[in-house]
Amino acid sequence: MIVARYLCLGVPVIAVLGCRFLDRSVAGPFLAFVAAAIGIAGLDAATGFYRFADVDGSFQGMPVDLWIGWAVLWGPLPVMLRRVLPLPVMLGLLLWVDLVAMPALDPLVRLGPSWVWGEVLGLLVVALPAQLLGRWTADRRRLGGRAMLQVTVFAGLTLWLVPTVAFTLGDGSWGRLTGMPPVWLFGVAQVALVIAIPALAAVREFVTAGGGTPFPWDPPVRLVTSGPYAYLANPMQVSATMLLLLIAAVTGSVTLAVGAGLAALFSVFVAGPHETNDMRTRHAGNWVQYRLHVRDWRPRVRPYVPGTTEARLWLDDDCGPCSAVAGFLRRRTPVSLVLLPASGITRARYEESLSGVAAVAAGLERVNLGWAYAGWFLRLPVIGWLAQVVVDALIAPPHLAGTDLADT
């Protein structure tokens, strides 16, 4: 059994080291490893396809060396071989390797009656997304797709894996959360969403305004000062820390609360200086000027808009609801937002990229932190679509600007 554990870890790691001559990228293989590790642990916790021998060095019943080796096999190794083996071929090879290796690992691994279906499910929901994330990141393709997969991975890390590790090493339990009445669970979910909104909006700004992702080795190519970054320099770190503290509170975990505090200290004293040096190198005076106005951990009340940058929002003066929105915004003196009468368009428009509810939501981001929060919420993917459906059906259906709604 000891030899099997060494082989499960050593063979994939040696294979990765041997593939360094084919691919020297770091970001893609690393993200694929993290995604595969979280997915494998989550799949094992949620299903009963496998059981493992009771050995030292286990996490949630799974030997850690087997877990790491499995994650390397499903994560970085195929990414590094992407130029040699297409993805469908690689997934087929991974299935074949597992079908051969898993029975041979008995008694370390005890297979359930449906373990083959577990392999197929794992390849589809764990290995495939990990490969897409790793390959897109390594080749700098599919910016929106890889950012979305990164959000999924970071959510799994923050909301499940890190708390589970804290519960395993210290105190707290998921049972305190899952045992709550449904109404309390719904309330906790709402609070978590409110905390997560700035982070989600920040990721969107990284993609749309910066041309990059939150991952440090896949950063934006342009300095991002819009969205949540107009109010706070580190919205993702703040959201992640507060989410960990929320989970610590509802699960009764002092260990997790301490971990969240240590993570914040790491961000301030280790990651912060490194980021400052990197950003000064890449963005020079623009970054320095930005940080004179926007701080970490303490948000501004009104947004910081650098220089004379102005945004334009077109609203139809002949549309009652649109005119009311224009008056609402004017009374609150938004920062560097020019309100213009619409002409030749069927919905409100913000610059050249946003229309309808999304355009108004972007305008709210120029008012103050409270209304910016509302704007970020309205621009969430599903929420934004639902809001647009309601507005089109009940408030202000699409119409040519300058035409009274009563005449449409």
Cβ–Cβ < 8 Å for 366, 400: no
For residue 103, give the DSSP letter: H
pTM comes to 0.92
Q: pLDDT value at position 404?
A: 55
What pLDDT, on a 0 to 100 scale, did the predictor assign at position 73? Answer: 96
- Residue 285's pLDDT is what? 87
> What pLDDT does residue 408 have?
47
Q: What is the pLDDT of residue 349?
A: 95
> What's the rounded Cα separation, in Å, for the pair 97 and 90?
10
Distances (CA, A) of 98 to 81, 132, 251: 18, 20, 36
- Average pLDDT per block of 10 residues along the chain, 408 residues long: 88 93 91 97 89 90 94 96 94 94 91 91 96 96 96 96 95 93 95 97 96 93 95 96 97 96 91 89 91 95 88 90 93 95 90 92 97 96 94 86 55
C-beta pairs of 117-125 under 8 Å, 24+ apart in sequence: 117/49, 118/43, 118/47, 118/49, 118/50, 119/49, 119/95, 120/95, 121/43, 121/47, 121/49, 122/39, 122/40, 122/43, 122/74, 123/74, 123/91, 123/94, 123/95, 125/39, 125/43
Across 48-188, the runs of DSSP E, i.e. the strands, are 50-52, 58-59, 62-63, 109-111
Integer angstrom CA distances of residue 330 from 15, 228, 231 = 62, 21, 20
Question: Alpha-carbon distance 86 to 78, whole Å?
Answer: 9
